Structure 1
Amino acid sequence: MAQRLYAQAEQGGIYATGIRGEHIMASTETIGFVCRSCARRARALPSTSARSSIASRPFSSTSRSRRSHAVPAFHQECSPELNTILSTIRNNHFLPAYLNDTQERMVFRKKYRSELENSPVSISIEDEDFNLKPLDRDAVEGERKALLKQALELITLEKEWTQVFPLLEGVAKVGNSLDQATVEKLIRKASLEGHFGVILQALKAAERTGLTMKDKFVLRGSIRALRTTAERGNWQQGALNKAIRYADEVAALLSDRSHMDAAKIPRREAVTVMGKPLSRPFNMAVWLELHAVRSYLYGGGKDEAGKTRALYERLMSCFDPEKKPKWLNNEKLDIPTQFLHIMPLWQGVLLSTKLLGTDTPQGSEQLQAFATECGEILSRNVARLRDQGEHKPGSLADTAIKQYGIARHHIYSKDRFLPVKMENKKPKRASAEQAAPVAEEQ
């Protein structure tokens, strides 16, 4: 006969309806799934302390505000292949992480396999029913990383970006399931597809998703995504505005101690960020570049709000000419981690200097010289890429060449800003009175 358990987790215990209708109370560590023998043992447990820590409300009034304890769910409006993979991930990988010790032993221990197969057990977690089934722990853990990687590839291929948050939430609960390359690739693809907002949502909920910029590769991917947002929009005003909004939110998270907590990272091999990320010149340069380009192209060539100058000064404060990265001397720069890393500083500093003119902060000569040096390094690398012939549209080499050309045009163009479209009307001829100069007051 099938056994059924409905359990409601409370602050210190579980209130359960046993197989014969008995009300059983015990600690969450002791009881959750209840078989006949366990039920008899549980009835013998003293319940005074458990009763004192459990709310007296009836089971049917389970609060909906504790949805963070629910097993992450995926919507079913995607391809059959992706549906099957996500269903397997949810039932075989995520669900066991939400079981208590007794339920987990029932699922994974071989001695309970036949009992569970012959007498199915159903449990309820946050008002959702699940049928427990026996699983092989080694087999489940052995297939997990490959299965998650396959799921993410299909999610990005099918553009099912709403599936990312629940997937990351489940991964964080399971722990140590995604390698750093997969995480960085996810962020890169999201930004290239215009869905960095999905990643930002997960970053804001780091306590649930485990996605925090304390992880070096998450930080690198997120900062790169800010510039990618402007790039894919061809540096149009709307794209720049969005990139700057994202940048403001990223900066807020970088200043949030609770977000920058290494304990939230679910990957054991993760490389953590040391110090303050925005005290590093190449990172800070991304913020300067975005504001400088927007002011130059769409702000009438003026830094009216003073934001560009403020960011310029902040970059100057963290720049040390004696601490240049050694890889700058390499004949060939790695495009994603080096070439695209120094481009914001090159364009940000030189375009800001052009924009600010005589208002450029004093003492910036060394920073300007370093930016010029970066431009020369970029130029040599672009020449080498062009010598290789045509590159596939959208490839890293193609992106590097195009973005270098755009930045160079911004920096060295004679126009200070994009010309404002004037109405196609003939100007009115001024009257003699209007044309006469106003006499100076004596």
Structure 2
Amino acid sequence: MAQNAVGRLFRSQNSSSLRQSIGSITQTRGISRHAVPTFTPTTSPELDQALNRFREELFIPFSLGQQQRRLMFRQKYADRLEQEPVTANLGEEEFLLRPMDPQSRPTKNEAIEVISLMKNTTDWKNLVPLLSGLRLSNRVLKSSRMEWIVRKAAEANALGVMLECAKQVERTGVQLNEVGFVQRLFFELHRKAQRAEFQGPEVTKAWSIATQLVGLMERPGHVQHDVAKDPKRRPFLIGILLELSAARALSEFGGKDQDGMVRLYSQRLLGSWPLGNFNGETTEWVAVDQMLQENIPIYNGMKLALQVQGVPHERSVAPALKNRLNELNQLIAKQLKNAPEKVQQKPTVGLVQAQLLYQG
């Protein structure tokens, strides 16, 4: 029926009638059902221009009604639309409809290129509206792309932006229920603390982000109902929480487990151990490197925990913690010994972390 209405619209030869008819169609969509994402100024004119293109050529058109999009994207209406400009209302914003080639609309790959232009926290604040607009426009990024975004955010000291994306899951689609993505996010929090030598404000910040992320995992949009696939039950996540809580105890609280978090996460780590990635028979280096990325934070977390006052004498956790630390020590030593020569010459991420934190 809508298509017939558009057809009747352009069969009219009378200019004023055309304007009147177009107006009647646009008024059926006076207010968008979606708020069109808005960007804030960045530190780069190139980035500002790229973000504006996504808003003007993708996000706004997808916020319009179906009939209005037809006016813009169907070539047979282009001349008429040029002759009779139409303004659509999007809330308090007015948008001038103009002919567009649907094949020229920004793509997901271009979105990745835009994100690569983000260099600091000022730039990265625009990630929330960018992901929101992509979701609005049915441009869903793959999990591997999301992991790449986490790495880039970490390089810009903008992991707090990833937390904000997760808080606004209904807008951004950033969910905390997929193991690979969550693992990358927590690994970067581990590296954030590691670069600060597990002392001072960076540890506090990493701990704050980590605990807020864990809290979000209990909320709608993030819950993983399959226990076997639930990231928050995995040793790598609990191990990083143990590492950060122990680092805080040693750095901020004079070595005391002031809030009981070190003891709590020690217990949880031991209980989650069967779900860990500890296969000593694996020799393929990509898999081994992934294992190191998971297990080095666990190893370091247990070492730090055993330095916190009272923990070495806690009968409910200390003996088991020491046994698991010894097991993991043997596994890591074996993996490092068998690292291929080319990997030793050009260390991978897991090997670098082992070289930084593993003492044998």
- For Structure 1 versus Structure 2, the TM-score category normalised by the shorter chain is 0.7 to 0.9
CA distance in 2 between counterparts of 1:119 and 1:402 reads: 67
Pick closer, same or farther for the CA change 1:93–1:259 going to 2, 3 Å: same
| 1:377 aligned counterpart, secondary structure | helix
Aligned partners of 2:236 and 2:294 also within 8 Å = yes
Is residue 2:214 matched to residue 1:230? Answer: no
Structure 2 segments unaligned to the other structure (5+ residues): 1-14
Deviations 1:337-367 (A, max 9, x none): 32121112212234324531121425853x5
Equivalent position to 2:235, from 281, 284, 292: 281
State the Cα RMSD in Å. 3.5
The offset of 1:154, in angstroms, is 0.8
Instruction: Determine which structure has greater relative contact order: mean sequence separation of CA pairs < 8 Å that are 6+ residues apart, divided by chain length.
Output: 2
Which of 68, 74, 77 is the matching residue for 2:39? 74
Given the superposition, is the C-alpha separation of residues 233 and 386 from structure 1 closer, same or farther in structure 2, using an over 3 Å criterion? farther
Q: Alpha carbons of 1:193 and 1:180: their partners in 2 closer, same or farther (altered >3 Å)?
A: same
Identity score, percent = 24
Counterpart-to-counterpart distance in 2, 1:144 and 1:97: 14
Q: Which runs of 5+ in 1 are unaligned?
A: 1-18, 21-33, 44-49, 51-58, 263-271, 413-442
Q: CA deviation at 1:167?
A: 0.8
Partner of 2:292: 339
Map of 2:132 onto structure 1: 169
Find the counterpart in structure 2 of residue 242 from structure 1. 205
Q: Which residue of 2 aligns with 1:96?
A: 61
Q: Distance in 1 between matches of 2:247 and 2:80?
A: 68
The answer to whether the aligner puts 1:118 opposite 2:83 as a matched pair is: yes
- The 5-angstrom pairing of residues 250-399 of structure 1 reads 250-260=213-223, 275-320=229-274, 325=277, 327-331=279-283, 332=285, 334=287, 337-355=290-308, 356-361=311-316, 365=320, 368-382=322-336, 396=349, 399=352
Amino acid in the other structure paired with 1:188 = R
How many angstroms does 1:193 deviate by?
A: 2.5
Query: How many residue pairs get matched?
Result: 340
Deviation at 1:223, TM superposition (A): 1.8
Kindly provide the amino acid, as one letter, of the partner of residue 20 in structure 2.
Answer: R
Aligned partners of 2:78, 2:207: CA distance in 1, in Å?
A: 55
**Structure 1: how far apart are the matches of 2:289 and 2:213?**
20
The one-letter code matched in structure 2 to 1:237 is G
Give the distance between the partners of 1:149 and 1:295, measured in 2 at CA.
Answer: 39
Contact 1:333–1:339 (CA<8 Å) still a contact in 2? no
- The answer to which structure has the higher helix fraction is 2
Q: Shift of the alpha carbon at 1:37?
A: 3.1
Q: Is the 8 A contact 2:289 2:349 kept in 1?
A: yes
Deviation at 1:78, TM superposition (A): 3.6
Contact 1:335/1:400, CA 8 A, preserved across alignment:
no
1:109 to 74, 77, 80: 74
> 1:31-42 alignment to 2 at 5 Å?
35-37=19-21
> Shift of the alpha carbon at 1:134?
1.7
Q: CA deviation at 1:171?
A: 1.1
The structural deviation recorded for 1:136 is 2.3
Task: Give me the TM-score of the superposition, normalised by structure 1.
Answer: 0.67
**How far apart, in 1, do the equivalents of 2:324 and 2:268 lie?**
16
Structure 2 distance, partners of 1:346, 1:316, is 12
Query: What SS does structure 1 have at the residue aligned with 2:298?
Result: helix
Larger-Rg structure: 1
The residue matched to 1:373 in structure 2 has which SS? helix
- Deviation, 1:213, is 0.9
Deviation at 1:191, TM superposition (A): 1.9
Report the more deviating stretch, 204-213 or 290-299: 290-299
**1:168–1:128 Cα change, 3 Å:** same
The Cα of 1:204 is off from its aligned counterpart by: 0.6
